[in-house]
């Protein structure tokens, strides 16, 4: 590459890098090799070793290997010590980045079995002339890439890749179809055709000839043999030990640490353990939706106050109004990169902003607990349905199942029931995921004739792959374990953790999730359903473990979750605005979605005949996203 071409490419990478300056406002770095074949950019959020010695991209001693790394390796000091890296390498910092570099030198692609943390990184291996990209086990840190025209572009956010002028901007219809089912886009797809996301627990190698190879290096199914019978007392003690260990690991930082607190089991357990393991009063943050209290079934604030009083926390309540939520939508669309149907993106923004303003740089969050411990009431309901009516239905001959399905359609049975019968008739899974927006039977009405001709993929094909994975490795897995695994493969990394990462990092805030410690997740997934839910009680083994730190009435309080008063907002304060968004949506130009059907959903919700708030929010979010990234370009 000539000097002019090199200067041009460097300028492009700098523009890409600085497009995500919010992810690393403390420092900016750039490195390229002599010929300009490799250019790495980095934005630094200083958490461990705040000195200039932690500057990235970082190299080994002879500058033959370079690394740009996002995240934290919680056991980097132990790896450094136990593998005696000092004896063979000259360290210049206390950073986990440098440990990763030298560990790669010694173990290459075998390094992943030794590291414990959350990360996305790109490593240039000069001697082997290859680029290595990797994403952590649970998918806490995102990593996107695009390969075209002899180039491999990659970044922590899609908007950085889109800064490169040669990247085409086209809508991926397969991804759109998937979003309208799952309320997120499953890996490796994104809504931008040609841009892909690296799956959790995978690495990719690009060799000198441009060949890409992607491999999975870990699965939650990799743990020791699952116990045939589990003792409740033993499980409680094991969970208690692993959870305390998980929180302790995530207190590693040279900056102030806080916690998001809802007053529920998960966040309260985090606060209890953090308070036990630290000497300073803990900073905690809770969202308070203005005008929505206990009378409206929003219980978080009083429970959070009680927890902070118990542990002497410095507490901040963050008021949020519907007007503030509406005003934030354009910025929300920008930070999401692709739409996330979960309205909890809104409180995540406001609570992250408050933490940043309070001087906190790291927070612990409760994500992941419900997925592995069986915390959703729907899990118990679906398990009963699976073990009862679903199993009975599946024993019937195919012809009879299909007759029942078509009979239900003819009788205009509720859409959810009809789709269950359709899945039984065509050997699709009962459980597709927790946040399904539109079932396939509903999509027949959502899509126009043109849309139906373009959207030919089946949502069940993707989910069936997850079931094949778990049942191939663990044929005796109970139905709760199967549902948990489906969540770990899609909704957790590509919706919940994506939400946490995008909206915390938008405020230069690092969020850590103790309940997604990989050792804890492996162990809890292996436990049978009987230890997690029974007789309307959920997360049994967790609640029994947390009884060492929290009172019983808090542990047994009704689950609220990270709720937003969206149904009420859309019927009242946000109603005129939401209706206008749907009526004027740029998506109408595509001719794919039947907006007469959409406006029917809107009318039914507005008039109180149905709660369509989740479906409508997913479409409002999609419309705003399309307007931002396509209609304006």
Q: Give the span between the Cα atoms of 591 and 568, in whole angstroms.
A: 30
Q: For residue 462, is the peptide bond before it cis, meaning its omega torsion is within 30 degrees of 0?
A: no
Residue that has been written with the tokens 């700098």 in this structure: 14
Q: Is 287 annotated as a binding residue?
A: yes
Euclidean distance between CA atoms 113 and 105, whole angstroms? 15
User: What is the H or E stretch that residue 310 is in?
Assistant: helix 300-311
Residue 93, class by beta-carbon neighbours within 10 Å (0-12 exposed, 13-18 middle, 19+ buried)?
middle
- Beta pairing partners, 122: 68, 133
Strands 27-32 and 58-59: unpaired
Residues 465 and 462: their CA atoms lie apart, in Å, by 5
User: What is the rounded distance in angstroms from the CA atom of residue 515 to the CA atom of residue 220?
Assistant: 13
How far is the C-alpha of 502 from the C-alpha of 175, rounded, in Å? 19
CA nearest 138: which of 397, 415, 498, 565? 498
Mapped onto helix, strand or coil, the DSSP state of residue 611 is: coil
C-beta of residue 602 within 8 angstroms of C-beta of residue 351: no
Query: Count of alpha carbons within 13 Å of 133, Cβ hemisphere only?
Result: 24
Residue 286, CA distances (Å) to 260, 269, 365 in order: 6, 15, 12
* CA 334 from centre of chain: 17
3-state secondary structure of 153: strand
State yes or no: 611 annotated in a binding site. Answer: no
Q: Tell whether the torsion through CA atoms of 228, 233, 235 and 241 is positive or negative.
A: negative
Q: Going edge to edge, which strands form the sheet with 202-206?
A: 58-59, 65-73, 117-125, 130-135, 202-206, 212-216
Binding-site sequence positions for ATP = 287
- Binding site, by residue number, is 96, 287
Binding site residues for L-glutamine, as ranges? Answer: 96
């Amino acid at each position: 590459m000539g000097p002019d071409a090199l200067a041009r490419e460097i300028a492009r990478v700098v523009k890409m890098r600085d497009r995500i300056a919010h992810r690393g406002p403390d420092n900016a770095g750039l490195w390229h090799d002599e010929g300009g074949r490799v250019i790495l950019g980095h934005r630094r959020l200083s958490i461990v070793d705040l000195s200039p010695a932690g500057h990235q991209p970082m190299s080994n001693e002879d500058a033959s290997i370079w690394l740009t790394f996002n995240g934290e390796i919680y056991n980097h000091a132990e790896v450094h010590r136990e593998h005696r890296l000092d004896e063979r390498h000259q360290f210049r910092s206390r950073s986990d980045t440098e440990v990763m570099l030298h560990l790669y030198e010694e173990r290459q692609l075998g390094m992943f079995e030794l590291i414990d943390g959350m990360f996305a990184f790109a490593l240039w291996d000069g001697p082997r002339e290859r680029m290595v990209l990797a994403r952590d086990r649970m998918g806490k840190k995102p990593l996107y890439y695009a390969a075209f025209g002899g180039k491999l572009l990659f970044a922590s956010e899609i908007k950085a890749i889109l800064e490169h002028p040669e990247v085409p901007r086209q809508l991926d219809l397969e991804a759109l179809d998937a979003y309208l089912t799952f309320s997120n886009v499953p890996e490796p797809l994104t809504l931008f055709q040609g841009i892909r996301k690296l799956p959790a627990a995978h690495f990719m190698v690009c060799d000198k000839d441009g060949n890409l190879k992607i491999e999975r290096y870990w699965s939650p199914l990799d743990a020791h043999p699952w116990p045939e019978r589990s003792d409740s007392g033993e499980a409680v003690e094991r969970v208690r030990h692993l959870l305390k260990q998980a929180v302790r690991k995530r207190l590693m930082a040279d900056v102030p640490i806080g916690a998001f607190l809802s007053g529920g089991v998960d966040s309260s357990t985090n606060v209890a353990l953090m308070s036990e393991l630290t000497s300073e009063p803990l900073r905690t943050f809770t969202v308070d939706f203005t005008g929505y209290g206990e009378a409206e079934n929003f219980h978080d604030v009083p429970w959070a106050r009680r927890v902070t009083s118990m542990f002497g926390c410095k507490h901040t309540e963050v008021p949020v109004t519907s007007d503030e939520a509406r005003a934030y939508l354009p910025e929300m669309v920008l930070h999401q990169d692709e739409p996330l149907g979960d309205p909890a993106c809104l409180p995540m923004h406001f609570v992250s902003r408050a933490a940043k303003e309070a001087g906190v740089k790291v927070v612990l969050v409760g994500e992941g607990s419900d997925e592995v411990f069986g915390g959703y009431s729907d899990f118990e309901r679906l398990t009963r349905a699976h073990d009862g009516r679903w199993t009975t239905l599946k024993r019937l001959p195919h012809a009879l199942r299909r007759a029942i399905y078509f009979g239900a359609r003819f009788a205009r049975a509720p859409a959810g029931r009809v789709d269950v019968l359709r899945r039984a008739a065509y050997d699709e899974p009962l459980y597709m995921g927790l946040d399904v927006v539109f079932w396939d039977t509903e999509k027949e009405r959502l899509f126009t004739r043109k849309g139906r001709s373009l959207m030919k993929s089946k949502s069940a094909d993707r989910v069936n792959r997850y079931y094949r994975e778990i049942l191939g490795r663990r044929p005796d897995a109970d139905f709760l374990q199967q549902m948990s695994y489906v969540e770990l493969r899609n909704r957790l990394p590509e919706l919940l953790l994506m939400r946490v990462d995008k909206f915390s990092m938008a405020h230069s805030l690092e969020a850590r999730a103790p309940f997604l410690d990989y050792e804890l997740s492996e162990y809890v997934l292996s436990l049978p359903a009987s230890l997690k839910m029974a007789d309307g009680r959920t997360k049994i083994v967790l609640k029994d473990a947390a009884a060492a730190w929290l009172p019983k009435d808090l542990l047994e309080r009704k689950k609220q979750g990270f709720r937003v008063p969206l149904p009420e907002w859309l019927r009242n304060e946000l109603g005129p605005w939401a209706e206008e968004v749907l009526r004027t949506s740029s998506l109408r130009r595509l001719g794919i979605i039947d907006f007469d059907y959409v406006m029917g959903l809107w009318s039914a919700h507005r008039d109180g005949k149905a709660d369509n708030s989740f479906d409508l929010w997913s479409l409002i979010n999609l419309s705003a996203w399309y307007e931002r990234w396509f209609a304006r370009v």
